Amino acid sequence: MKIKTEKQQNKVGTSQTDDFESKVREYESLLCENDKKVKKNEYKTGDTVLTRYYTKSWKYYVGVIENAYLATRKYTINYYKTIGRKGNVKFVVPKRKDQDCVPEVSIVKDIELLQINEDPDEYVLMNDSDEIYF
């Protein structure tokens, strides 16, 4: 049986500590690089967004941000009424205001709408890839 001397134990402990510290520095640098790559979503008043709610399954709704409370990361959103199904989805301004205050985690993404009619205001999705939500 070998008994490690105190100097040998310190060397092993020091090399493990150095190795751990170098891994921590490497991890921190990777996090900094990822922070630069990942765009933080800060939505502002007037943005058209896609939000989701969970009942028995996820339901998606389109609306316009009326107020942004950046301190609490909550947004007041005025929603459009969704008309139609997949492939033929339209959004209209409802007769009665549909408004909710939602946290940022409920916002899926920014979307773009194309106005197809002025009276009544009707919109369709600009990007066909967004139709997967409806």
- Report domain extents, the chain: 1-38, 48-133
Q: What is the pLDDT of residues 65-99, one digit of tens each?
A: 999 888 888 999 999 999 988 778 899 999 999 99
Distances (CA, A) of 113 to 23, 48, 100: 46, 8, 20
Structure confidence at residue 11 as a pLDDT band (50, 70, 90): low
Measured distance CA(119)–CA(80) in Å, rounded? 15
Structure confidence at residue 1 as a pLDDT band (50, 70, 90): low
User: If you average pLDDT over every residue of the chain, what do you get?
Assistant: 79
